[in-house]
Structure 1
Amino acid sequence: MCSHSYFSVLLGSFCSIMPEENHSVVTEFFLTGFPGLHPEYQGLASAVLFLVYSLTLIGNATFFYLFATDRSLHKPMYYIILNLCTCDILFSTTTLPKIISKYWFESGTISFTACFVQMYFVHYLGTVNSYILFLMALDRYLAICHPLSYSLVLKNSTICILCITVWVIAKAGPLMLVIRAYPLPYCASNIISHCYCDHIGITTLACTDRAPYAFPAFVFAMFALLGPLVFIIFSYCSIIIAVLKIANVQGRLKSLSTCSSQLIVISLYYLPRCFVYLASNVGITFRADMRIVIIMLYSLCPPMINPLIYCLRTKDIRESLLYLEGDKKNILSGKSKCIE
């Protein structure tokens, strides 16, 4: 993954070859956060965001610990979940600390280059998340629809290669968005009506026609969002058909239970996004503050809720947690006996 300094050099050198009139006079941006939020509620808002961030870190770090200490979790499905946890932690770390500091320390400004670096990681991690959900659907599709070939096709080594590939190929689209947006002339307002820097929020401030930049961004978003979604819909339709062919009712329920947690996670990611996109296309508009609240909910709640879903809906993780809890009780009881 690229560092802050790498992007500063890359974007700076790219901008230096542009005509002089394209240089921006804006040196920093200001994030509004939640427009219209009364000052007396800003402390509460920052506390809620800090709680969301803390729970996200704790929940996903717990899965990391379980995966590292319990070899029974070293299966393709849990390698995919491990990558999803990594993506969730990085996305929350990219977006939340800045908006929390805005309300806690009244630090709403972000430097010009840092804003584009944040924009890159927002779109990059969102793309990675979508591709990981594609792998999650692929795992369940092969496990239920082609169980005999599952262990041959999806080995641990194979899923690791696929996950690495996802992290690599997801770089291209967001990087092109940033490279095209960075040299635009930003000579008017520097106020971004959002909690973090994204492509729409930044390019709407450019003193130029946004259409040539908006369409490629829309195509990229649709490819990253709808491409995996098409396969996810196909895979779960195939899964439902395969499950209905099972004569035993218990067998049906067992097969469905193995993909229930993944289906919930996928729904939390896609349904709100599809609703927002469809609403905007059919003429349904939201107030600026309501729109930002909706975006923050579907961006930041799933990383916090996902670990809880794994623990409640996945048998292996529940057993690993119970085993860990039992070890702690044994250690504590051993210590108390030593004290006696």
Structure 2
Amino acid sequence: MSLRCESTRITNFFILGFPGLSQEYYGPVSALLLVLFLAIAVGNIFILVFVRCERSLHKPTYLIFCHLALTDLKFGTVTLPKIISKYWFDDSIISFYGCFVQMYFVHFLGASHSFILMVMALDRFVAICAPLRYTALFTNNTVSVLCGISWILPMLWMVGIVLDTLRLPYCNSNIITHCFCDHIAITVLGCEDVREVEVVALGGAMFFLILPLGFIIFSYFVIIVAVMRMTSSNSSRMMALSTCLPQIIITFLYYMPRCFVYLANFVGFTFSVPVRIVVVMLYSILPAAINPLIYCFKTKDIKEHLKKKLVTRKINSSTTTG
């Protein structure tokens, strides 16, 4: 009972950020994080607006890109402003419940992103392996339903995880050793046995990461086999595979660093706390800033529409000046 009483003393958490970072680097670090935040915001909003305005891009593949852009935009908005504020304004305090809200969105958006990547792999699987039935099987409505499920399932799961974590008494340190509130960083501050909570959360995380990853690996393996069995020329095969290139790059950027960190921990190789936080920030934030560039420069239809826009603008400007 005393633990419960003690737990009421914590009303705020302190975001530690990058441990050991000298104060002289606070300015450059906050500026770098601000640039990343602006890149995420501008790039992903551009993709959402561009696809929305170009009716010819209202196709399943590009609707999936919009859902991915939305998760990236929301993730950057949820995580970066607070850590920028810490280093720019020396504001490390986040309210007790505010921290849990941030934790909810961090894991909810990560799980949704993972499921939407699975929908993207399914899109390429049907397009390559059943091209004649693609337009009938994979419509915009189909994508909306599948992506809707990808948002709803993690949303419901994270409500349970947050409530389970909230019931813990918090009477130890209130310092979050991370750049944002995540499940592990919060539960280690609990002052009773948290193994049950951690096991439940880990099980859910594995479901939302491993299940989509397993399907993605299987689908792209089948796609490669199907392309290799085509009787057409090598150039046609390469063209078929090239339609999967943006999706493969995006999936690689999301999963590979995470798998590397998990495997490193599994074989007994542990990172120091500062290195681990830097690595987590890199694989959490960088893909959200890079993905819009992949959509624009590695996707044929978007690239061609951008070229047409630029050419039209140049012609109009030259006509005006002439």
Task: Settle same-fold status: TM greater than 0.5.
Answer: yes
Q: Is the Cα contact below 8 Å between 2:15 and 2:94 reproduced in 1?
A: yes
Partner of 1:74 in structure 2?
A: 58
* Aligned mates of 1:77, 1:228 — CA distance in 2: 18
Structure 1 gaps, min length 5: 1-18
1:23 Cα offset (Å): 4.7
- Given candidates 5, 18, 22, the residue that maps to 1:38 is 22
* Aligned mates of 2:287, 2:316 — CA distance in 1: 34
- Given candidates 62, 67, 70, the residue that maps to 1:83 is 67
* Aligned mates of 1:49, 1:138 — CA distance in 2: 34
1:332 Cα offset (Å): 2.5
- Given candidates 82, 104, 110, the residue that maps to 2:88 is 104
Length, aligned pairs only: 319
* Aligned mates of 2:185, 2:230 — CA distance in 1: 50
Q: TM-score, normalised by structure 1?
A: 0.91
Partner of 1:52 in structure 2?
A: 36
Q: Is the Cα contact below 8 Å between 1:66 and 1:320 reproduced in 2?
A: no
- Given candidates 114, 121, 141, the residue that maps to 1:130 is 114
SS of equivalent residue, structure 2 residue 8? coil
Q: Is the Cα contact below 8 Å between 1:22 and 1:183 reproduced in 2?
A: no
* Aligned mates of 2:285, 2:44 — CA distance in 1: 13
* Aligned mates of 2:214, 2:32 — CA distance in 1: 35
- Give yes or no for the alignment of 1:315 onto 2:285: no
* Aligned mates of 1:66, 1:330 — CA distance in 2: 20
* Aligned mates of 2:291, 2:107 — CA distance in 1: 20
- Give yes or no for the alignment of 1:155 onto 2:139: yes
Partner of 1:223 in structure 2?
A: 207
Partner of 1:192 in structure 2?
A: 176
SS of equivalent residue, structure 2 residue 244? helix
- Given candidates 119, 123, 136, the residue that maps to 2:103 is 119
1:285 Cα offset (Å): 0.5
Partner of 1:275 in structure 2?
A: 260
CA RMSD of the aligned region, Å? 1.3
* Aligned mates of 1:213, 1:22 — CA distance in 2: 20
Partner of 1:174 in structure 2?
A: 158
* Aligned residue type for 2:242: S
Q: Is the Cα contact below 8 Å between 1:265 and 1:302 reproduced in 2?
A: yes
1:120 Cα offset (Å): 0.2
SS of equivalent residue, structure 1 residue 29? strand
* Aligned mates of 2:97, 2:53 — CA distance in 1: 40
> Identical aligned pairs, as a percentage?
48
- Give yes or no for the alignment of 1:302 onto 2:287: yes
Superimposed CA distance per residue, residues 69-107 of structure 1 (whole angstroms, 9 cap, x where no aligned partner): 211211100000000000100000000000000000000
Superimposed CA distance per residue, residues 14-35 of structure 1 (whole angstroms, 9 cap, x where no aligned partner): xxxxx96485321000011100
Q: Is the Cα contact below 8 Å between 1:24 and 1:184 reproduced in 2?
A: no
